[in-house]
């Protein structure tokens, strides 16, 4: 095989076409010719690729919601190749089944928001006996023009119970299904309200029904077949206006013909729901999962599908980044998905589940909780030892204080008790120095009480009676009652 390859390389007219990507150097060519013509296996200082592969960016592609049929060619330019093969790939975990024509065109029917994403098509063929492949990458976005209809219906009934209301709504939707098919629209029933009638609040109730009408039903755009963006967008706007007008006429005619709806149940009388009002309101709001991002330059008021990492609730005209702690994986998300197990995202706008990471605060708290038992085993014995030593030192200190203070306290207490006993037993009156010789009995008594009180304080303080009292006590005997006279007090002082 190597010898044949060397002989082929010696012939100058069979050099492989490498697409102009590489140019052999002069030394490399001479080395290759010398080795191959000598009959030895040919080798290159570098490896030749087995397949020449080229990558191209096909650009942005916008496809309207519920398009009847959209055909996307593999290559944006005409290529003159022999027996090509085509392979389409989408970058999603569970790619949808593709319909591909023999010319390599990707066919998309009833396009939905979730069909948006990154697509790539690889065209493979042989050129001068060498396999060649070219890959074209596309970013496909769904969009829709503005337009919708809100319908408010009021029905009168004798009952306002959930059981009967649900049966009535099921019957209403069943009869409107045929109208939905005929008008090529979509109907969505929003929450229903029931409240008493103003005319007869006790016996009559009003059931309010709210219907949202989308003009983008199956085959709604069958008259718009152009592939030109500007032409087809103008056609979409005209079709939406026309279809919404037809829907309004059809509903008005329908409720003129169907004024009452009878709901029956076994062993129960039928309940009538009579239509009293039909109201229409044209709206221009983006659908859920769409926002006015102005990516489509030829239709600036169109609503573009929200990419991963963003969301848009119903009747919201902007795509907002997913808040911290949430993410969105696909296109056209109405609400973002929260991270599991208390995980969070570092920044808003996460577009993958891998963006969810453990909360650092949670990790720290868990780490601390795991370390607490070890810390307790280390710290608890030390705390117990410190507490035990503190208790022992407190007991010792209290004992020492008690031993030192006990003799003094007992001596003072005993002295005070003896003096109070003697004073009370002998009833020794003491007179303060304020008493004069002319003081009367009442004045004398009060002065003695005051002196006694003062004398008691002095005895408690000094631990012994005053010299005046001691001299008087020396003459007292058991047979006589000690009485102090004015002369005695004068002698004393």
pLDDT score recorded for residue 5: 34
Give me the number of domains the chain comprises: 3
Continuous segment of H or E residues that includes residue 54: strand 52-64
Is residue 205 one of the residues assigned to a domain? yes
End position of a domain, from candidates 345, 360, 375: 360
Distance set, CA 91 to CA 70, 200, 231, 438 (Å): 19, 61, 30, 127
Asked if the structure places residue 340 within a domain, the reply is: yes
* The pair of three-digit structure tokens given for residue 431, joined into one six-digit string: 């007179």
Chosen domain end from 322, 338, 360: 360
193 and 240, same domain (yes or no)? yes
Asked if 61 and 97 sit in the same domain, the reply is yes
- Count Cβ atoms within 10 A of the Cβ of residue 391 and give its class: 0-12 exposed, 13-18 middle, 19 or more buried: exposed
User: Based on the domain organization, do 246 and 158 belong to the same domain?
Assistant: yes
**Residue 465 within any structural domain of the chain:** no
Say what the pLDDT of residue 411 is.
53
Residues 154 and 278 in one domain: yes
Q: Is residue 472 part of a domain?
A: no
The reported pLDDT for the residue numbered 369 is 53
Query: 329 and 219 share a domain?
Result: no
Task: Write down the pLDDT at residue 51.
Answer: 57
347 within domain boundaries: yes
Rounded-to-integer distance, Cα 229 and Cα 473, Å: 135
pLDDT at 373: 67
Q: Is 42 exposed, middle or buried (0-12, 13-18, 19+ CB in 10 A)?
A: buried
Amino acid 208: pLDDT? 94
Q: Kindly state whether residues 229 and 181 are assigned to the same domain.
A: yes
Q: What is the structure's pLDDT at 462?
A: 41
Q: Are 270 and 263 in contact (CB under 8 A)?
A: yes
Domain co-membership, 215 together with 266: yes
Last residue within a domain, chosen from 321, 337, 360: 360
Kindly state whether residues 84 and 195 are assigned to the same domain: no
Quote the domain boundaries for residue 132: 52-143
CATH number at residue 114: 2.60.40.10
Q: Tell me, yes or no, whether 336 lies in a domain.
A: yes
Residue ranges in the chain whose pLDDT is less than 50: 1-49, 365-366, 422, 425-426, 428, 430-493
User: What is the pLDDT, as a whole number, of residue 269?
Assistant: 79
Residue 124 within any structural domain of the chain: yes
Whether 116 and 171 share a structural domain: no
3-state secondary structure of 7: helix
Query: Alpha carbon of 431 to those of 307, 438, 447: distances in Å?
Result: 110, 14, 6
- 114 and 171 share a domain? no
Question: Are 158 and 258 contained in the same domain?
Answer: yes
Residues 273 and 324 reside in one and the same domain: no
């Amino acid at each position: 095989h190597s010898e044949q390859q060397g002989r082929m390389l010696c012939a100058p007219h069979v050099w492989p076409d490498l697409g102009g990507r590489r140019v052999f150097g002069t030394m490399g060519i001479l080395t290759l010719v010398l080795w191959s013509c000598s009959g030895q296996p040919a080798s290159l200082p570098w490896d030749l690729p087995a397949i020449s592969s080229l990558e191209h960016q096909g650009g942005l592609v916008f496809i309207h919601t519920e398009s009847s049929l959209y055909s996307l060619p593999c290559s944006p330019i005409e290529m003159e190749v022999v027996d090509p093969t085509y392979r389409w790939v989408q970058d999603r975990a569970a790619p949808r089944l593709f319909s591909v024509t023999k010319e390599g065109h990707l066919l998309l029917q009833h396009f939905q928001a979730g069909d948006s994403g990154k697509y790539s098509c690889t065209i493979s063929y042989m050129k001068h006996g060498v396999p060649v492949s070219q890959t074209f990458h596309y970013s496909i976005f769904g969009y829709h023009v503005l337009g919708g209809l809100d319908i408010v219906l009021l029905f009168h009934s004798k009952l306002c119970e959930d059981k009967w209301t649900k049966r009535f709504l099921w019957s209403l939707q069943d009869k409107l299904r045929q109208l939905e098919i005929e008008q090529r629209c979509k109907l969505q029933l929003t929450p229903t309200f029931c409240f008493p009638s103003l005319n007869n609040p006790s016996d009559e109730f009003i059931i309010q029904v709210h219907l949202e009408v989308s003009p983008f039903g199956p085959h709604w755009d069958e008259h718009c077949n152009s592939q030109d963006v500007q032409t087809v967008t103008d056609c979409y706007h005209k079709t939406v206006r026309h279809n919404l007008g037809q829907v309004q006429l059809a509903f008005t005619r329908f409720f003129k013909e169907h004024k009452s709806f009878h709901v029956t149940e076994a062993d129960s009388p039928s309940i009538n729901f009579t239509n009293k009002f039909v109201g229409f309101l044209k709206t221009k709001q983006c659908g859920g999962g769409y926002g006015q991002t102005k990516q489509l330059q030829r239709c600036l008021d169109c609503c573009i599908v929200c990419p991963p990492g963003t969301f848009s609730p119903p009747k919201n005209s902007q795509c907002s980044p997913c808040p911290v702690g949430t993410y969105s994986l696909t296109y056209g998300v109405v609400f973002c998905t929260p991270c599991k197990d208390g995980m969070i995202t570092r920044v808003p706008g996460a577009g993958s589940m891998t963006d969810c990471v453990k909360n650092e605060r949670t990790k720290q708290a868990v780490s601390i909780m795991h370390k607490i038992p070890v810390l307790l085993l280390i710290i608890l014995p030390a705390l117990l030892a410190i507490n035990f030593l503190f208790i022992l030192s407190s007991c010792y200190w209290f004992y020492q204080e008690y031993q030192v203070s006990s003799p003094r306290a007992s001596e003072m207490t005993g002295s005070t008790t003896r003096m109070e006993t003697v004073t009370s037993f002998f009833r020794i009156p003491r007179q303060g120095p304020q008493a004069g010789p002319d003081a009367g009995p009442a004045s004398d008594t009060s002065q003695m009480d005051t002196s006694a009180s003062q004398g008691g304080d002095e005895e408690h303080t000094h631990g012994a009676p005053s010299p005046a009292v001691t001299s008087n006590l020396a003459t007292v005997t058991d047979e006589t009652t000690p009485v102090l006279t004015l002369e005695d007090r004068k002698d004393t002082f």
